[in-house]
Structure 1
Amino acid sequence: MITFNNISKVYNSGAQTITALDQVTLEIKEGEIFGVIGFSGAGKSTLLRCVNALETPSEGEVLVGGDLLATLSPKQLRKKRKTIGMIFQHFNLLQAKTVFDNIAIPLYLLGYKKRDVKNKVRELLSFVELSEQAHKYPDQLSGGQKQRVGIARALATDPSILLCDEATSALDPQTTSSILALLKKINAAYNITILIITHEMNVIQEICDSVAVMENGRVIETGSVFDVFAYPKTATARRFVSSVLQDELPLSLQQMLYKQDETHQIYRIVFTGESTGQPLLSQVAKNFHVDVSVLYGHVTELQGTPFGNLVVQLKGEANEISKTLAYIQDQAVEVREVVSHAS
């Protein structure tokens, strides 16, 4: 559906050269909800704008629905853009227009008859649950309601692709969840491909099928949401995952543990699927001469699969700890040593 082939984007500002995108290659499948995450300046927005040709790559190719954007005539490009909806961080509503008129604008611009516009807008208002707000103005709405208007407007032209530019970052957590639920509803009802850029890993966890992690204009990690959460390969991905799982031990706790006794080690145990329900630690306590202390525990669901994450302290002789670790790994459970920052 959307393919980026080795695209780069370089801006020249006087004597300064800024590389916003650096040899990015990605493929987003039809009907997928794909997230791109990164810190400010990572290149996320530039990548998004390449999909609707608001930005043109300095190098490489962008294909949307099998069409190479660089080869399209202005008329063909305008037609292609009708298939791409856009949702903005700050809603971009016309304050002097009612909710109804804000949604109707794209339809009037495309030459729809007044009766057809009325029917379509009513349908969209019902879908986003704003039927009773049709004649209100944006300043009479909450942030979540404004974003629902923006979503309805983006759906007005029946797009096959929906681009979300930090669509929830201006919203509180509860409203964010309701907007993400609406996006999932849109994806399921219309099979629309959704591309989301965000700096919030909880958004990726809650809605996306796949994710790409960007840093300094490059994609440094990509995969299913489950794989990136369960087995992050880069430091940046681990930072984002930790922001959701909150599994980093406070430095003060680490210092206290290492001052008490150096004959222990700290490990992260990752459970997935059926292994999440195993009585693993009780078996360890019965079978090995080690003391186990749970320092952190978290169980969640990733793409419908249970995911457990424990940070434990193992105290005992080195050979007993080694046998314990081997036993844990034999149960199809991953175990990793936690590097302390306290020393």
Structure 2
Amino acid sequence: MPAALASGLELSRAYYEHVVRPLLHRHTPGLPHAAARSGSGSDVLGFDDEQSRDHDWGLRLTLLVEDGRATEIDALLERELPPTWDGLPTRFATTWDPVVRQRVEVAPAAEFAASRLGIDAARLQAVGGDGLTLSDWLSLTGQAVLEVTAGAVFHDGTGALTALRERLAWYPRDVWLYALAADWSRLGQEFPDVGRAGLRGDEDGAAVIAARHVRTLFHLAHLLHRCWPPYGKWLARSSARLPGGDRLRTVAEEVLAARDWRARQEALAAAAELLAAVQGEQGLPTLAPATEPFHERPHIGLRALPELLAEQIRDPAVRALPIGAGTAEQISDNVTVLVDAAARRRLVGP
């Protein structure tokens, strides 16, 4: 399979099957391990293209081994891997590490996940995910979880990676309800402002507010379908993969393309109604219609969807959280904060 024709996931699979696995079999026969293409990179999400190859793309793999053997196996690969395979170098520098070395990431499963999530490895290993605290769940970003749960698994001889993915499949129900309420709350706070800015002749201001809403709508759509949302670069594209995502993308494009505030707020209202209907399809309480006139003004507001969801929360700790604040990635969209697990945790509490 020529590398020029391969996606990153296809290339990683072939690299494991034709190079890494035979090498392990020769030098460490019977080694329990898991192999996957996880971690960072657009190819993990299946979004890589020719442009992706200008950095951090190539013969990459995640190899998970237990029993303190990660350092040994990393050294083995550095020593024994051929210089190139399929026309690509096996050793290269990356944007986070200027050293030219082999790029099979070797680690114990829980430590690999901890490096992505910023959660203590021991808590990640707790059976059934019981070790994760409320602050743990709130501190997660969808992108961080996807670096563990997305991508392709080529082999899982230990079962550790599969168990981790199952534990991180989705939020506990009450945290899910809380996050949904936060997105609806964020929409509701400024929904009428699109019309208010437009009524004052500030079409640019109305467009900026509407664009913020579109981003929140895409995030909300992922939450409703229990799909971890990726970071901003891929959020809209990922939305198209959701059930009914094409319709949401079409309405969002109408919002962004609108040249006057009335058309803009009507398209926003249509998007809100679409997602409120999805909420009902998911077996959650919803309102129809979800939008309503905003007092006596020619603006559109949202009805009490956050409160409706909050009423369903049973966990006292979650009920005590301020509705509308949300998870770390709902509180802040600052990239510097969101890639720093300690900073995320400061946003949501100890």
Asked whether the two chains share a fold, i.e. TM above 0.5, the reply is no
Give TM-score, length-normalised by structure 2. 0.26
| Structure with greater proportional strand content | 1
